[in-house]
Amino acid sequence: MTAVASEGSLRRLALSQPFALESGESIPGLEIAYRSWGRLSPQGDNAIVVCHALTGNADADCWWSPLFGAGRALDPEKHFIVCSNTLGGCYGTTGPTSIAPDGRPWGKRFPRISIRDQVRAQIALADALGIAHIRCVIGGSMGGLQALEWALLDPERTGAVVSIAAAAKHSPWCIVWSEAQRLALRADPRFRDGDYAPDEPPRDGLAAARAIAMVSYRSAQSLDERFGRCSGGEVFGDRSRSPDDFAAQCWLRHHAHGLVERFDANTYLRLIDAMDTHDVALGRGDHASVLSQIRQPALIGSISSDALYVPADQRFLAAQLPHAELLEIDSAHGHDGFLIDAENFEPAIRRFIEQLPARQATPAAHDCAANDEPQLSGLASLLQFSC
């Protein structure tokens, strides 16, 4: 039987059957940690699924707070909003820090996963919650990759997609940024090829990887406006710095070491591996034909200063999707603009969701290949609850 447990506002769904992965491996006893807001309608048709970014979690009302609340895009008075920690994460859903069947943490033994695997886990959660129709799937960055896969893996249930700062596939540009992070992490002697002890993690390597990522997430304009070229100004956390340190250096160290306190190195590697292998066309055909099969209304958010998922990536998506609208977000904050400037683009997302047509069957334009079928064995009867 599938079991549900609660820890405050965080809930966990345990699947009774092994969860099959694209790689051919499987995960026994998969647990999915999630939060929800609002109440599912009797028809099960008022859901919105929120997908988080690389180091995010299920607390979408915290990291995307400008989108939440009465009269906003994500309105718990109207919608049943669900956000789960992603498969392979370290905030409750099964991942490298979870306990394997042999009683030890999975660690580096945790199988390779894909964006499609992550979405299939979310699909299993939607089934267990009794969600019959999803008004919209929304996400930014890694969450934006997942939103696109929802439209292909579960076209009948997915009514619309909002994908921000994402792409149809990971470009060579994105991949080299990921590889620089891998090299930094693995250079830490404590990494030990992933066999580090939980109480002796590769802190320096993970901090260096996060520092590299932070540079790719921001823009020159953003840092210049905030810090200029001065050594005074902001102090981050309680970390000491010499009088000669630039404030921008302190900012970077603060974010680098901050991640170490809340994240796991093997988890980080599994997730960036999943992102690098993302390609909506893989095993399905060419990009143009695959994207043309996404018949749902789509809002594609593009950040003007994004140097990681560059605006050309989103323009390509908007041009290939049959019912897409391009939302150009004027932000100086680079890739992180999808979080920092959410207040500015919330009205556009709200209008998009409000203007969606009433529920209707979505044409199944996509004939799923065998490896596109979600693995849902062992799900119990439908469950409904709100947090």
Say how far apart CA 43 and CA 269 lie, in whole Å.
40
Say how many Å lie between the first and final Cα of the chain, rounded: 23
Tell me which of 216, 306, 313, 333 is the catalytic residue. 306
Q: Which amino acid is at 286?
A: D
Instruction: Indicate the annotated binding residues.
Output: 210, 336
Tell me which of 36, 114, 141, 178 is the catalytic residue. 141
Report in angstroms the alpha-carbon separations of 56 from 51, 119, 162, 354.
9, 16, 18, 26
Computed on alpha carbons and rounded to an integer, the radius of gyration of the chain in Å comes to 20
Question: Which structure tokens are listed for 112?
Answer: 């390779």
Check if 323 is active-site: no
Say how far apart CA 90 and CA 97 lie, in whole Å.
6
Long-range contacts of 226-229 (CB under 8 A, 24+ apart): 226/251, 227/251
Q: Which amino acid is at 27?
A: I
Instruction: Indicate the annotated binding residues for substrate.
Output: 210, 336
Q: Beta 10-14 vs 31-37: how paired, if at all?
A: antiparallel
Tell me which of 52, 255, 278, 335 is the catalytic residue. 335
Check if 26 is active-site: no
Question: Which structure tokens are listed for 314?
Answer: 């989103």
Say how far apart CA 324 and CA 303 lie, in whole Å.
16
Question: Which structure tokens are listed for 135?
Answer: 């008004």
Say how far apart CA 1 and CA 17 lie, in whole Å.
8
**Residue 276 CB neighbours (<10 A):** 19
Check if 304 is active-site: no
Furthest-apart CA atoms within the chain: distance in Å = 63
Please state at what angle helix 142-153 crosses helix 115-128, rounded to 10 degrees.
Answer: 60
Q: Which amino acid is at 45?
A: D
Whether 269 and 183 have beta carbons less than 8 Å apart is answered as no
Q: What are phi and psi of 317, to 5 degrees?
A: -60, -50
Say how far apart CA 347 and CA 137 lie, in whole Å.
17
DSSP code at position 107: G
- Positions marked active-site: 141, 306, 335
